[in-house]
Amino acid sequence: MTSRLEALCMEKGLKMTGQRRVISQVLSEADDHPDVEEVHRRAVQIDPRISIATVYRTMRLLEDAQVIERVDLGDGRARYEEATADHHHHLIDTRTGRIIEFASPELEAMKERIAHELGYKIVGHRLEIYGVPLDDAADGIRDEEERP
């Protein structure tokens, strides 16, 4: 069975080797935002001959072809997700590392308005929000208030 990423790669004219197919499969099945090392760990479970260097090269190729996107989640590691037509942003829980994807038409309109007011047209952007759950934030405030 052809993965979504493999089909997209073929549409873009990329040569699909067996190892690239495995890496594309791993990325298509990911419900998280894996880094290169995690992609490699998952890929070798399918094909133990895949080297970390092959994963790095393939990730770069897929990113250059705009099949995947690099995501900065504030942990110092480049992470990746499948490039989609659906634009979304990320809310990262700084305590657990949980990543919540969200879309907001109001936010998109606000960004367009701001760019226009400043005399610009948006050609690309990213938004990552870092936070803690409100329950945790309130606990932290109470802890600070209780200290002498």
Q: What digits encode the pLDDT tens for the residues 53-87?
A: 999 999 999 988 888 888 777 677 888 887 776 77
Distance CA 131, CA 98 (A): 10
User: What angle, 0 to 180 degrees and rounded to 10, lies between the N-to-C axes of helices 52-64 and 18-29?
Assistant: 70
Same domain, 28 and 50: yes
The parent domain of residue 74 ranges over 1-84
d(CA 44, CA 41): 6
Residues 114 and 137 in one domain: yes
Are 79 and 90 found together in one domain? no
Q: What is the pLDDT along the chain (148 residues), one digit of tens a residue?
A: 777 778 888 888 888 888 999 998 898 888 888 889 999 999 999 999 999 999 999 999 998 888 888 877 767 788 888 777 677 788 888 888 788 888 888 988 999 999 999 999 988 777 888 888 888 655 554 444 433 3
* 71 and 97 fall within a common domain: no
